[in-house]
Amino acid sequence: MDRSEKLRQRARELLEKKEVVMVIGFGPPSDSGISPVLFATTPEEAENLTASTSCAQNLANYLLKVRDRGRVAVVARGCDARSITVLLQENQLKRENLHILGIGCEGVIENGRKSTACAVCRHPNPTIYDELIGEPVPAPEPDPEILKADQEFEQLSPDERWERLSAELDRCIRCYACRQVCPNCYCPVCFVDASMPQLLGRTHNLSDNMVYHIIRALHMAGRCVECGACHRACPVGIDLMRFNRRVAKTVRERFGCDAGTDLNQAPALTGFKPDDPQEFIQ
């Protein structure tokens, strides 16, 4: 039985036995090659689920929106599962209200190419699940071009880096789509929306754009699972993964934490070690 058939069968069973009220997964890919998100509440609706993992969104995001409805099943690739782990650590979800259908992921194909985030994926397989549909998949070789571009960027002078990022972020229209699609960006009032006091300017302004992106990346430090949903959602194609990769690397190297890979390890920035490195402090 192929993965899609197995997935449909399990989804049908879960819905028929009323073990869950909904199965969140991927529908069949559209002409663009991207699978839409599918919310199945009846066994019939579950017939459209597929195991094609080319789904642009991170499904953990939707769990937050249906968390009051009872037990929900969700199809989880590496990054969906890591996001779920972060949300569990932060008490945003209840484990007993989830049935995680883990699935190995071959990466999201966008415009005929592997999405930037997926091209350097380190965790294609779910890190947490109740059952695994099909076999785990091997982690792909990271795209050498992306790694090289990162290295080259870091070797530029501070002024050159600033120029490059300014040019990139000046294009940001601050639509906040990147925030909306991120499952781990769930504050009821985001600092960019606060109005009493107003923390960030509302107009298109390079300084405000920069501050938005720096703070966004910082709020995601130790929590971003590098799924790339934000990057894919951006209407002007800002390279958000460049920030996310940098911060994730800092957190991995300095604190030995990899977001959402271990339910028992507290998110990096909520904890500390007395002997954390502090070479940057005078």
Partner 1 sequence: MPDAENFEPKIVAFLCNWCSYAGADLAGISRLHYPPSIRVIRVPCSGRVDPFFILQALQQGADGVLVSGCHPGDCHYLTGNFVARRRFAVLNDLLQFCGIEPGRVTFAWVSASEGERFAKLVTEVTEKVKKLGPNRKLKKELP
Question: Which partner in partner 1, ligand SF4, none is near 161 (CB below 5 to 8 A by kind)?
Answer: partner 1
Q: Which stretch binds ligand SF4 (CB under 6 A): 20-28, 118-126, 155-163, 230-238?
A: 230-238
- Binding track over 258-277 against partner 1, x by CB under 8 A: ----------xxxxxxx-xx
Whether the CB-CB separation of 82 and 225 falls below 8 Å is answered with: yes
Question: Which partner in partner 1, ligand SF4, none is near 154 (CB below 5 to 8 A by kind)?
Answer: partner 1
**According to CB under 8 A, which one of 65, 163, 171, 187 is a site residue for partner 1?**
163
- Residue 132's DSSP bridge partners are 102
Site membership for partner 1, residue 180 (CB under 8 A): no
Q: How far is the CB of 183 from ligand SF4 (least distance, A)?
A: 6
Nearer to ligand SF4, 165 or 233 (CB): 233
Whether the CB-CB separation of 79 and 58 falls below 8 Å is answered with: yes
Q: Which stretch binds ligand SF4 (CB under 6 A): 6-14, 37-45, 129-137, 171-179?
A: 171-179
Site membership for partner 1, residue 131 (CB under 8 A): no
Whether the CB-CB separation of 22 and 39 falls below 8 Å is answered with: yes
Q: Could you tell me which of 15, 12, 14, 36 has the C-alpha nearest to residue 26?
A: 36
Q: Could you tell me which of 204, 210, 274, 213 has the C-alpha nearest to residue 247?
A: 213
Show contacts with partner 1 in window 203-232 (CB under 8 A): 205, 207-208, 210-211, 214-215, 217-218, 221-222
Q: Could you tell me which of 157, 186, 191 has the C-alpha nearest to residue 174?
A: 191
Task: Give kind and range of the element (H or E) at residue 161.
Answer: helix 158-169
Site membership for ligand SF4, residue 40 (CB under 6 A): no
Site membership for partner 1, residue 152 (CB under 8 A): no
E-only strand ranges, 77-188: 98-103, 109-110, 113-114, 131-133
Query: What Rg value do the Cα atoms of the chain yield, rounded?
Result: 20
Half-sphere exposure of 51 (CA within 13 A, CB side): 22
Site membership for ligand SF4, residue 58 (CB under 6 A): yes
Question: Which partner in partner 1, ligand SF4, none is near 141 (CB below 5 to 8 A by kind)?
Answer: none
Nearer to partner 1, 9 or 205 (CB): 205
Residue whose token pair is 């405000």:
208
Distance CA 210, CA 58 (A): 25
How many residues contact partner 1, by CB under 8 A?
Answer: 45
E-only strand ranges, 43-192: 72-76, 98-103, 109-110, 113-114, 131-133
Contact residues toward partner 1 (CB under 8 A) are: 154, 156-165, 191, 199, 201, 205, 207-208, 210-211, 214-215, 217-218, 221-222, 243, 246-247, 250-251, 254-255, 268-274, 276-278, 280-282
What is the contact surface with ligand SF4 in residues (CB under 6 A)?
58, 172-178, 181-182, 184, 220, 224-230, 233-236, 238, 240, 244
